[in-house]
Structure formats: C-alpha cells, structure tokens
Chains A and B, each alone.
Chain A
Amino acid sequence: SQTIHQWPATLVQPVGSPLSLECTVEGTSNPNLYWYRQAAGRGLQLLFYSVGIGQISSEVPQNLSASRPQDRQFILSSKKLLLSDSGFYLCAWSLFLGLNTEAFFGQGTRLTVV
C-alpha cells in the first residue's frame, strides 16, 4: 500500500535561518507531488507541484523553493525564513495518470518562525 512520510512534525526556526522540509512517498511510482501551506484558520494554498523528477511548478511568488531530486522525494526549502513563512505545511501526492484522482496527505509540519 502507498504511504507518505513528512517530517519534522513541528519546527521552530529563527528569522533568517534556512529551511528544509522533506516528504517521501512509498508504494507508488511517478506520483504527482504537492506542497500546500495552511495559515491559521485558512484554507490550503498550493505552493508547488511536480509531475516528475526535476519538474517544479510554482503557484505563488514567495520566499520558498521546491526540489524533486528523486521520483518519490519532494523537498521544500528556504535560504532565509521570514516571519510570514509560519504556517502548517502539507505534502501530498496523487496518481500521475488520470483526471479523477484523489490526493493523499502527509500529517503536516507546523513551522513557527520566531
């Protein structure tokens, strides 16, 4: 069966420090991968999605970047965190083929920038 791992669960980082959040998927090949951010009491904002290794699409301009060095690995990074980067970050995957597929989410990372 397919599983998705996302870590760490919580993170407190000072302003100006770098960030690296990792997400890996098991049990499937060539998934679509997504990074979402959820601000407190808000909906999910799509940050990045990837349809293959090295292929990253950015949905909104921001202080963050994403990379997909391996088929089932998706990394969210920042060189210098801002206070506004605080939030709940969720990684998700869906099947590559097919137009009617659901997304499977990790348990999220609560990032607090202080």
Chain B
Amino acid sequence: SQQGEEDPQALSIQEGENATMNCSYKTSINNLQWYRQNSGRGLVHLILIRSNEREKHSGRLRVTLDTSKKSSSLLITASRAADTASYFCATGNSGGSNYKLTFGKGTLLTVNP
C-alpha cells in the first residue's frame, strides 16, 4: 500500500520562483527520501533525511521532517526550467532484516521559462 502522499499533485510555477511540495505518511519510519523522475525515465535520488533529523540542505534543495505530524516538505529554491519533473517522497522502513522503500504518488512540477 502507498505510505507517502504528496501534495499538491501538480504544481506550475515560473522560473526563479520557489517550489514547495509536501509529503505525509502513516507509520513510523527510519528515514524519508525524495526522488526525482523525468518523464519516462527511472528515479534519481535527491536527498535523505533520517527520522532523528529535522532539516537538511543540498544545493537548492531544503527538506524538513516533522515526525510528530508525520510529514515532510521539499523546497526547491530559484527554480529552473530543468527542474521540471515528477517528485516523489519515499519512506524507508525496516522489519527485521527487510528494508524497503515505499513511494507516494508524486507531485508533477512544471517550471515555465
């Protein structure tokens, strides 16, 4: 079953603006990750935030995690047309020796030049 739910489902902004995407999940997690998918391609890992972390930065990306609310946000600053893609959150869960990632449905981001 789907663990993460991204919001909004689609987002359209102008180049240079910031884009914020949110993710909510239901069960306890070891970590939360964000991935990017260009149309018709595989997913590329962007950033991982552990359950004991609250905020993480990587270049123009900023991720927050609120485990009390079971939610995360991805902020892309100073967006570029090349940022146009689908963005997915994924939760990492472990059960014994089984570690697996469960993905949400994604947010389609369109950055208009």
Question: Do these two chains really belong together in a complex?
Answer: yes
Given A49-B98, A99-B30, are A110 and B105 also a contact pair (CB < 8 Å)?
no
DSSP majority for the A interface? strand
Q: Does A100 contact B (CB under 8 A)?
A: yes
Give the size range of A's interface with the partner: 20 to 34
Q: Does B103 contact A (CB under 8 A)?
A: yes
Chain B residue nearest to A102 in the complex (CB): B45
Residues from chain B with Cβ under 8 Å of A106 in the complex: 42
Give the size range of B's interface with the partner: 20 to 34
Q: Does B80 contact A (CB under 8 A)?
A: no
Residues from chain A with Cβ under 8 Å of B41 in the complex: 107-108
Query: For window 56-114 of chain A, which residues contact chain B by CB distance below 8 Å?
Result: 57, 88, 90, 92, 94, 96, 98-108, 110
Query: For window 22-67 of chain B, which residues contact chain A by CB distance below 8 Å?
Result: 30-31, 33, 35, 40-45, 48, 50
